[in-house]
Amino acid sequence: MAEKKTRVLIIDDDPEIVSYLKDLFEGANYETVTATNGVEGIEMAQTRKPDLITLDMDMPGRGGTLFYVKLRQEPYLAEIPVIVVSGVGPRPPALNKSVPVMQKPINPEKLLEMAKQALGE
């Protein structure tokens, strides 16, 4: 039986960023699922049960902050580690101080290292 791959949910409204992150994580032997906004992100988190979420903060509709707050309110989703991958400036107050933030432009090695740390690998 094949070993279960670690699943990463990528939430970003920019198709180029989504494609880049998909390639980056799949190249590092992760499975990926994607969403283009916070509403879709919550649905994907509920149905696909990711091990890790990368989250853009600035998206149309339900943005990253609202997604994060909603995620933390769901008992079976609240423990999923989140890495913010965003071009935004200061950390939104809703984000727990322990949430790592990767500013865009993305440093691929650093992001994979942050993912490993968040997953306890």
Q: What is the pLDDT of residues 41-81, one digit of tens each?
A: 999 999 999 999 999 988 777 788 889 999 999 989 999 99
* pLDDT for res 63: 80
The type of residue at 95 is L
Whole-prediction pTM: 0.91
Residue at token pair 């690998």: 121
Burial pattern 62-96, b for ≥16 Cβ within 10 A else e, equals bbbbbbbebbbeeeebeebbbbbbbebeeebeebe
With both helix axes pointing from N to C terminus, report the angle between 15-27 and 108-119 in degrees, rounded to the nearest 10: 70
Q: Which CATH superfamily is domain 7-119 in?
A: Response regulator (3.40.50.2300)
Residue 112 confidence class, pLDDT cut points 50, 70, 90? very high
* pLDDT for res 79: 93
Strand partners, 54: 10, 83
* Sheet order of strands, 82-86 included: 31-35, 7-11, 52-55, 82-86, 101-103
Span of 12-16, 22-26, 57-61, 64-68 with lowest mean pLDDT: 57-61
Q: Are 53 and 83 in contact (CB under 8 A)?
A: yes
* pLDDT for res 64: 86
* pLDDT for res 88: 66
Return d(Cα 104, Cα 118) in angstroms, integer. 19
